Structure 1
Amino acid sequence: MAVDRIIWKMILDFVVLACVAAPLLILLLVAEPYHRGYFADDQTLMLPYKHQTISEVLLAGLGFAFIIVTVLLTEYILDKKGLGVGEKFVSGSLVPGWLWAGYSTIGIYTFGAACQQLTSNSAKYVIGRLRPHFFDVCNPIPSSSSQNAGGYIQDFTCQGTDAARLKDMRLSFPSAHSSFAMYTAVFFILYVQVKGKWRGSKLLRHAAQFLALMGAWYVGLSRVVDHMHHWSDVAVGFAVGALYAVVVFVYVLKPAKFASTVRWENPAPEIPRPVLSR
């Protein structure tokens, strides 16, 4: 019966993950972003179009590979030191404790990543903020409509012919790249802080945390340099990613359950209390 519960738990986890991922996929494939207008003299929209340094596929691949390798390696070391969660039986097969713990942690990380991406991308379509390269991609021709009175142009036609770019040019706020990069970095920082202690060096762990944070920082800066986002888009993306990482790690992964398994260092000996004379 216990084995059946584990299998059903795994199936339910995949169903929940699919329920979050499906709306995100539908949004990206079907939804049309809000058609926001512009001011003809808005210099923040006049930057030239540039190919992005870091694509969505590259960022996602690096992020997931980074977390998967970190989690599996950490759990394996903990297991070898006798500090793992213990072996489990699944469908009559013995599953190593480090593999089960890795599956749980990576699954929760993936769930959080899907949630923060759905949050960021849904905001993109609702807000419809124009990217800095709007004029270069669209090359707009305003109409004589009364909607364009007062200098704010809402009725216009794009001379650009690339349909994908014409849709993407309205998806500036917030930066999903920055959100995912910061989510991955903060999740890594918290995970290593709780489970990655090592007596060999007091600075090695913190150096790895700093490098992860700098990696996310670089991703955000590259989005501004590549004229894909305004600085405020990146700032909000960072905030969304960091918030989701903290919430998912603290309230979904629940690091308190690791409290008894993360002591890689020998605990300090207890000092005997003196017997008080009466």
Structure 2
Amino acid sequence: MFEARGVPFILLDVACLIIGGLPLAAFNLGKIRPYQRGFFCNDESLQYPFHHSTITSTVLYTVGFALPISCMIFGECLSVYLKQIKIQVVFRQLHFQRLQSHRHVPVRDAAMSQSLTDIAKYSIGRLRPHFLDVCRPDWKLINCSSGAYIENFTCTGDLQMANEGRLSFYSGHSSFSMYCMLFLALYLQARLQVEWARLLRPTIQFFLIAASVFTGLSRVSDYKHHWSDVLTGLLQGALMAVLVVFCVSDFFKPRVVAHKDVDILHTTLEEPNRNHFESPN
């Protein structure tokens, strides 16, 4: 009964994940060109050299998905064994359903968060600090003597890297890392309420947020983004995490079991006692 009732919710989560990630997939798989913004010849903010990322996308997404999901699964299972939730068969099944729902929340809404990021990136087309290094415009065809705004120019460098160089605003690394780390920090705030974790909880939360801030700062030092791109990304990720935790998840809501589940629980618990005290006919 419980497993069958949980399947539609899981399928709905998967459908929402696909819908929320459609803009993200469209921009990255559809080879859509970002807005073709120009530049000023004397703009020093675009003349930095190209550097490889300190925090690669592989590391970012692996840690960003694996850490919150694994911590939530471990935390929900641990809460059962610590008897924060009664260890009854029915409660275990109900708790498994709640775990299934929580597990899909960070994945689904992370996809939505990144979709918002890509919409901004491709719509604004702000040039990265290393744009001129990867674009390598043909300066012979550009008149920089008057300091005019240059819109018509041809990149002689790698076309894919040149298009990637137009996706500076705002930082996807910053928004994604802040969303995942703040989401996990708020989850710990709601679930890790035992006395012995009074100092451990804020310590873990500090390092989670610090890791996100470091990721954002590395994007500036790697000349991938301007500081305003990183700040906007951190704010957007934080806002998305707060909205998801307080408006979508039930982390800070009282744990209430539905009436039907309570009836089933009472029947399950009372059945052995009734059989034990009833005298045979």
TM-score bin, normalised by smaller chain: 0.7 to 0.9
Q: What amino acid is aligned across from residue 228 of structure 2 in structure 1? A: S
1:183 and 1:26 map into 2 onto residues whose CA distance is 22
Count of aligned pairs between the two proteins: 255
1:260 and 1:111 map into 2 onto residues whose CA distance is 24
- How far apart are residue 105 of structure 1 and its match? 1.3
Partner of 1:245: 241
Partner of 1:187: 183
2:12 and 2:255 map into 1 onto residues whose CA distance is 27
Q: Secondary structure of the residue that 1:28 maps to in structure 2? A: helix
> CA, structure 1 residues 159+96, in 2 after alignment: closer, same or farther (shift >3 Å)?
same
Q: What amino acid is aligned across from residue 206 of structure 1 in structure 2? A: P
> Which structure 2 residue ranges, 5 or more long, are not aligned?
258-281
- What do the CA deviations read for 1:13-40 (whole angstroms, capped 9, x no partner)? 2111111123311211221100000000
Superposed counterparts of 1:93-108, under 5 Å: 96=93, 98-108=95-105
- What do the CA deviations read for 1:52-80 (whole angstroms, capped 9, x no partner)? 11111210101111102211121111111
Partner of 1:74: 75
1:84 and 1:35 map into 2 onto residues whose CA distance is 56
> Which structure 1 residue ranges, 5 or more long, are not aligned?
262-278
Output the TM-score relative to the length of structure 2: 0.83
Superposed counterparts of 1:126-145, under 5 Å: 126-141=123-138
The counterpart of 1:159, out of the listed 122, 145, 156, is 156
Partner of 1:265: none
- How far apart are residue 97 of structure 1 and its match? 5.0
Query: In the alignment, does 2:251 pair up with 1:255?
Result: yes
2:114 and 2:63 map into 1 onto residues whose CA distance is 16
Query: In the alignment, does 2:171 pair up with 1:170?
Result: no
Partner of 2:58: 57
Higher strand fraction (1 or 2): 1
- How far apart are residue 188 of structure 1 and its match? 1.1
Higher helix fraction (1 or 2): 2
Deviates more, 1:6-15 or 1:236-245: 6-15
- How far apart are residue 256 of structure 1 and its match? 3.7
- How far apart are residue 193 of structure 1 and its match? 0.5
Partner of 1:210: 206
> CA, structure 1 residues 80+97, in 2 after alignment: closer, same or farther (shift >3 Å)?
farther
Contact persistence 2:135–2:159 (CA under 8 A): no
Partner of 2:262: none
1:205 and 1:86 map into 2 onto residues whose CA distance is 25
Query: In the alignment, does 2:42 pair up with 1:41?
Result: yes
Partner of 2:275: none
Output the TM-score relative to the length of structure 1: 0.84
- How far apart are residue 143 of structure 1 and its match? 8.0
The counterpart of 1:114, out of the listed 107, 111, 127, is 111
Q: What amino acid is aligned across from residue 178 of structure 1 in structure 2? A: S
Q: Secondary structure of the residue that 1:255 maps to in structure 2? A: coil
1:22 and 1:109 map into 2 onto residues whose CA distance is 16
Contact persistence 1:130–1:171 (CA under 8 A): yes
1:231 and 1:17 map into 2 onto residues whose CA distance is 31
Superposed counterparts of 1:22-37, under 5 Å: 22-30=22-30, 31-37=32-38
Contact persistence 2:40–2:147 (CA under 8 A): no
Q: Secondary structure of the residue that 2:154 maps to in structure 1? A: strand
Contact persistence 2:69–2:106 (CA under 8 A): no
> CA, structure 1 residues 137+4, in 2 after alignment: closer, same or farther (shift >3 Å)?
same
- How far apart are residue 252 of structure 1 and its match? 0.5
Partner of 1:221: 217
Q: What amino acid is aligned across from residue 28 of structure 2 in structure 1? A: L
> CA, structure 1 residues 5+72, in 2 after alignment: closer, same or farther (shift >3 Å)?
closer
**RMSD of aligned Cα (Å):** 2.6
2:211 and 2:239 map into 1 onto residues whose CA distance is 18
